[in-house]
Structure 1
Amino acid sequence: MRTGTHLLAIMAGIAAPVALTFWTTSSAGPRSAAHYAAVEQRALGTREVIEAFEKMGIDERKPKEAVLAYFSPDVIDHDPNVAGDRQSIIDYLDKRDWSSGVPRRTIRNIIVEGELGVVHHHIVRKPGEKGIAAVDIFRVRDGKVIEHWDVLQPVPEESANRHGMF
């Protein structure tokens, strides 16, 4: 009897932690991938959210995924080319031909103060063009972009300014 009890205790001692580990790390458990993604998202600050959005949306050519990951469902966008909500941003970006290697973007400056972040960059939307000088302004709260503005200025063929736009 003692051997059977000891064996049962040993088996239970091994099985219980294994079962608990499988449950806590499963898709339904408290340590699921969704849980960790939400915790990681909340932990991102203004600069990290902006950089992650720029990397995924432009560098990795996944604008829809980037907007869904980093923009609040209630985002307010002030770009005159969109209706001003998250879906209109996605629709606008989906119309771009991302397979051609453009738009190509070079970030010149990122400035962050609290929940506001500014990205100053050079964007070339079509090969052979001079492109545009762009400033995107993001308001980030709780790991999500909640508001966005942009200011765009075409890079002229010739400039009187000896320093150039960048």
Structure 2
Amino acid sequence: MVQDFLNLAFNDKRPAEAFAEHVGPDYVQRDPDAPDGAEASARHLAGFVARFPELSLDIKRVIAEDDLVVTHCLMRLTPDSRGSAVADIMRVADGRTVEHWDVVPDLLENPANGDTMF
């Protein structure tokens, strides 16, 4: 369900549909850049996705425990951008996402340790 939400919202560019299908009505948004609530968050994400028509999200890992699902993804706003390593944490109840947190560091060209974030 979480993977379907992310693919629908980012790769298929249908965030309103993703929210309608996969997000609960009492959704709590913990991203400080996004408004709280399902409707407001859906509008915010739709605006973000619309600004970047070439945006892509490559899901690298999915980890689930109890009611939490964590994804580790490579998000590129354009095909030639280095991108960001996105970690989304979603709390799920009754088959719908009801709470969301994220961490979105940019990928560095020359990380101090020489390792990639993936």
TM-score higher than 0.5:
yes
Q: Which residue of 1 aligns with 2:110?
A: 158
Given the alignment, which residue of 13, 34, 50 partners 1:97?
A: 50
Distance 1:99 1:143 in 2: 29
Question: Residue 110 of structure 1: CA displacement?
Answer: 0.2
For 2:73, the aligned partner's letter is H
Given the alignment, which residue of 58, 62, 66 partners 1:106?
A: 58
Percent pairwise identity: 29
Distance 1:62 1:56 in 2: 6
Higher relative contact order (CA 8 A, sep 6+): 2
Q: Which residue of 2 aligns with 1:81?
A: 33
Question: Residue 122 of structure 1: CA displacement?
Answer: 0.9
Extract structure 1 runs of 4+ deviating beyond 6 A: none
For 2:78, the aligned partner's letter is K
CA deviation map 1:26-78 (0-9, x unaligned) = xxxxxxxxxxxxxxxxxxxxxxx212212222222211100111000110010
Distance 1:62 1:121 in 2: 18
3-state SS of paired residue (1:97): helix
8 Å contact from structure 1 (residues 71, 145) kept in 2: yes
Q: Which residue of 1 aligns with 2:23?
A: 71
For 1:123, the aligned partner's letter is M
Distance 1:153 1:99 in 2: 18
Greater strand content: 2
Greater helix content: 1
8 Å contact from structure 2 (residues 7, 57) kept in 1: no
Distance 2:102 2:73 in 1: 11
Any gaps of 5 or more consecutive residues in structure 2? none
For 2:43, the aligned partner's letter is D
For 2:104, the aligned partner's letter is L
For 2:40, the aligned partner's letter is S
Question: Residue 98 of structure 1: CA displacement?
Answer: 6.7
State which structure, 1 or 2, has the greater radius of gyration over its C-alpha atoms.
1
Q: Which residue of 2 aligns with 1:57?
A: 9
Question: How many equivalent pairs are there?
Answer: 117
Q: TM-score, normalised by structure 1?
A: 0.65
3-state SS of paired residue (1:75): strand
Any gaps of 5 or more consecutive residues in structure 1? 1-48
8 Å contact from structure 2 (residues 52, 77) kept in 1: no
Question: Residue 157 of structure 1: CA displacement?
Answer: 2.2
